[in-house]
Amino acid sequence: MARRFRYSTFVAFSLLLSSQAFAASTTVMVAEDGEGGGPMTITLDKTTVPAGQVTFKVHNHAASEEHEMVLVKLKSADQMIAVNAAKHRVDESKLKSLGEVADLKPGKDGQLSVSLTPGSYLLLCNIKGHFEAGMKASFTVTP
């Protein structure tokens, strides 16, 4: 009887682990310079998702501007992001960056997949002057 119990416990535990490993990823569509947001904007199709694997699919709608999308975990939803005025850029070394889609040419696509924990996040473009022009979007991950 004890052997049978251990085997069924092992099977149940294995099924639990495999179901978590194959849990569906949440996809967030990210539009830069367009899709209702206008120039120098980042627009998301959803601003709140559950914790877990999230894939950001980014499209640069700009006709001539290169963009990027940097994902930053904030300490709080109202955290102020300082800009280096001389460089017209955010100092990423002072933030918790979780990855980016860099050097996204006009009309091109990119993606970033990351496992996210509950909290407040910010998506931003850190090409010179773009953050200051408004290229940022708040994002929340719930438990």
Backbone angles phi, psi at 39, to 5 degrees: -70, 150
pTM of the model: 0.82
The mean predicted confidence, pLDDT, of the chain is 87
Question: What is the pLDDT at residue 6?
Answer: 52
Q: Are strands 42-44 and 89-90 parallel, antiparallel or unpaired?
A: unpaired
The domains found in the chain, sorted by start residue, are: 24-142 (2.60.40.420)
pLDDT band with cut points at 50, 70 and 90 for residue 38: confident
The string of pLDDT tens digits covering residues 8-21 is 544 444 444 444 44
Q: Cα torsion at 101, 105, 109, 114 (round to 10°)?
A: 0
Rounded to an integer, the average pLDDT of 35-64 is: 92
The string of pLDDT tens digits covering residues 113-142 is 999 999 999 999 999 999 999 999 999 999
Neighbours of 28 (CB within 10 A): 20
